[in-house]
Amino acid sequence: MRNEERFNLVAPCGIDCATCELYMCQENKKLYDYLISKGFSSDKIPCPGCREVAGHCPVLGAECATYLCARNKGVDFCYECNEFPCSKLNPAVDRAEILPHNMKVFNLATIQNLGLEEFVKISLDIKHKYYKGKMKIGEGPMLDKQ
């Protein structure tokens, strides 16, 4: 059986809001305080996830154009659109070390190939490999075994 509440935490663009610090801070006071110290407003966090706030991401301070596009096209995920992948999902080096924007197409392809239920089981591992993995040419990011 699908856990709709958990699955609704995966944004149309493929970002898993359940693994976002703005969402996770609801159960982590130190993370919440850290985010406040970085300029996030206490009335914007914790974020309940993109779908819950109709794309009004606290990082943007406005409605997300990608969220609006998916909603207007009547798709749950961008990979369901006949224009996928579009320029809204194009990766960029800018702030790649702190923002998960470059993970979107990989996440969407994973959801498309494995299904949403399997994706949510591995999305945190995908995020850890993105931020903490070491690139092994030809094999992708690897986490050190410690």
Sequence spans of domains, the chain = 4-142
pLDDT in tens, 113-134: 999 999 999 999 999 999 999 9
Residue type for position 40: F
**Dist CA 101 CA 80 (whole Å):** 19
17, pLDDT greater than 80:
yes
Tell me the percentage of the chain whose pLDDT exceeds 70.
97
Contact 52/20 with Cβ under 8 angstroms? no
Our separate counts of H helices and E strands in the chain read 6, 4
- Pairing relationship of beta strands 56-57 and 62-63 according to DSSP bridges: antiparallel
pLDDT value of position 44: 85
1, pLDDT greater than 80:
no
Confidence band of 2 (pLDDT split at 50, 70, 90): low
Q: Which two tokens stand for residue 48?
A: 């309940």
- Rounded-to-10 torsion of CA 124, 77, 46, 6: -60
pLDDT in tens, 23-71: 999 999 999 999 999 888 898 899 999 999 999 988 787 899 999 999 9
**Dist CA 35 CA 31 (whole Å):** 6
What integer best gives the mean pLDDT of the chain? 91
